[in-house]
């Protein structure tokens, strides 16, 4: 038990400033203290310590419901650096050969896989077999068949499978979804999604068919695929698509440079989208309905997201996407919370089915029927 002296020392400094605080300041302090989280914490190991893995790790330092406790990497120097930066114990550090041993580590609840796309499936299945929850970056797999195998493996192991759809928790995005659900746009007629940037280093893994599974569509185009679904609020029933390639040296066979694709929905709404590795400044969503519209630009970047509707500017405050995502994932895994827009493996398989159909439409020039 702590001594009375310790108690007095603990409260003395805060009490000394109380006479100088306004009523509003005192209310804010009281409110913040009452909101302190004392529930379960999701303990996460990150697999793949590249630039995005680092972004997630940094964001997790501000989480209240999730904590970075372990790492998995094939580069010993990265592990050493992360240990020092994030205070990760040696017993929670693994490489790609021995990480199956996490099954014997009770200090890790989940593994966030942030590796090249082709490695998501094999590593997710190994993590599931080790009895840990799986978080995969998107796209979840190279195709729908692989995605379905991941879903089945996680169900068999009785673990959760979530995907890093950070935009599903972004405040301005959720406000547009709320407005659409409440009928403020009226009948939805049209969606436009523009996703693209000019990619640099031609030797990077994102331009390697074996590692990435494609080109722009498997990296940036998935935002428009997924965004069309949650903005319109329906599942598409057909797709058409056209590929444009002007640099076959940089964008080799099976690595798409630019794809335009169109989606049709049961209500009659249509979507027109662009995915590219050849144009900068493309990060825009536009939703049109009989009673109004929503426009977001940037719409899927790391923020702040900017947007407006026929009723005016969207003013929801910016929050670091990865911090919010990891806290929300903690609630989903540990307390069974249901997100407004799903982020589970079944949700990701739907995106993969659409992308499979987009690639088929590009190859054949045909209109492809979708069954999601």
pLDDT recorded at residue 249: 96
| 350 is a domain residue | yes
Q: Are residues 130 and 174 in the same domain?
A: no
Query: Which residues are designated catalytic?
Result: 138, 223
Q: Are residues 161 and 234 in the same domain?
A: no
Q: Token pair of 204, please?
A: 């990077």
CA 291 to chain centre: 31
The CATH number assigned to the domain holding 268 equals: 3.30.360.10
Domain boundary among 124, 139, 166: 166
Q: Are residues 144 and 204 in the same domain?
A: no
Question: Which residues of the chain are under the pLDDT cut of 70?
Answer: 1-35
The CATH number assigned to the domain holding 148 equals: 3.40.50.720
User: Which residues contact residue 253 at a Cβ distance below 8 angstroms, ignoring those fewer than 6 apart?
Assistant: 209
Q: Are residues 174 and 304 in the same domain?
A: yes
Domain boundary among 148, 166, 184: 166
pLDDT recorded at residue 67: 98
DSSP H or E stretch at residue 259: strand 258-264
Tell me the per-residue pLDDT of 311-323, one tens digit each, with 9 for 90 and over. Answer: 999 999 999 999 9
Q: Are residues 243 and 141 in the same domain?
A: no
Q: Are residues 156 and 135 in the same domain?
A: yes
pTM: 0.91
Enumerate the H helices of 18-90 as residue ranges.
23-34, 51-60, 76-86
Q: Token pair of 252, please?
A: 């080799």
Cα angle 219, 283, 60; round to 5: 65
pLDDT recorded at residue 36: 84
Q: Are 209 and 252 in contact (CB under 8 A)?
A: yes
Neighbours of 74 (CB within 10 A): 13
Q: Are residues 222 and 139 in the same domain?
A: no
Q: Which of 133, 165, 111, 139 is nearest to 325 (CA)?
A: 165
Domain count of the fold of the chain: 2
Domain boundary among 166, 186, 216: 166
What is d(CA 186, CA 313) in angstroms, rounded to the nearest whole number?
19
Domain span holding position 153? 42-166
Tell me the per-residue pLDDT of 53-104, one tens digit each, with 9 for 90 and over. Answer: 999 999 999 999 999 999 999 999 999 999 999 999 999 999 999 999 999 9
Q: Are residues 173 and 131 in the same domain?
A: no
CA atoms within 13 A on the CB side of 98: 9
Q: Are residues 93 and 212 in the same domain?
A: no
| 25 is a domain residue | no
């Amino acid at each position: 038990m702590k001594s009375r002296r310790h108690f007095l020392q603990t409260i003395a400094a805060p009490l000394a400033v109380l006479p100088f605080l306004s009523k509003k300041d005192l209310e804010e302090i009281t409110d913040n203290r009452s909101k302190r989280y004392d529930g379960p914490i999701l303990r996460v190991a990150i697999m793949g310590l590249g630039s995005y893995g680092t972004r997630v790790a940094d964001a997790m330092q501000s989480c209240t419901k999730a904590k970075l406790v372990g790492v998995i990497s094939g580069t010993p120097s990265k592990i050493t650096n992360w240990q020092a930066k994030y205070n990760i114990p040696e017993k929670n550090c693994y490489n790609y050969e021995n990480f199956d041993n996490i099954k014997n580590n009770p200090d890790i609840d989940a593994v966030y896989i942030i590796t090249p796309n082709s490695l998501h499936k094999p590593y997710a299945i190994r993590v599931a077999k080790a009895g840990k929850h799986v978080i995969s970056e998107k796209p979840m797999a190279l195709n729908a068949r692989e995605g379905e195998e991941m879903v089945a493996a996680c169900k068999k192991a009785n673990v959760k499978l979530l995907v890093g759809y950070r935009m599903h928790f972004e405040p301005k995005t959720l406000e547009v979804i709320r407005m659409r659900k409440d009928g403020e746009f009226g009948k939805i007629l049209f969606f436009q999604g523009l996703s693209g940037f000019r990619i640099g280093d031609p030797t990077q893994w994102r331009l390697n068919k074996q590692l990435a599974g494609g080109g722009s569509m498997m990296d940036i185009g998935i935002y428009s695929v997924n965004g069309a679904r949650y903005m319109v609020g329906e599942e598409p029933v057909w797709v058409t698509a056209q590929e444009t390639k002007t640099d076959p040296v940089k964008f080799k066979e099976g690595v798409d440079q630019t794809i335009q694709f169109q989606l049709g929905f049961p209500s009659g709404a249509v979507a027109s989208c662009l995915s590219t590795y050849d144009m900068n400044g493309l990060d825009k969503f536009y939703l049109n309905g009989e009673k109004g519209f929503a426009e977001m630009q940037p719409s899927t970047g790391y923020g702040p997201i900017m947007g407006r509707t026929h009723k005016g500017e969207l003013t929801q405050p910016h929050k670091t996407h990865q911090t919010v995502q990891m806290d929300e994932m903690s609630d989903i895994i540990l307390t069974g919370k249901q997100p407004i827009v799903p982020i589970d493996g079944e949700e990701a398989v739907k995106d993969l089915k659409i992308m499979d159909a987009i690639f088929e439409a590009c190859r054949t020039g045909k209109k492809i029927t979708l069954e999601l």
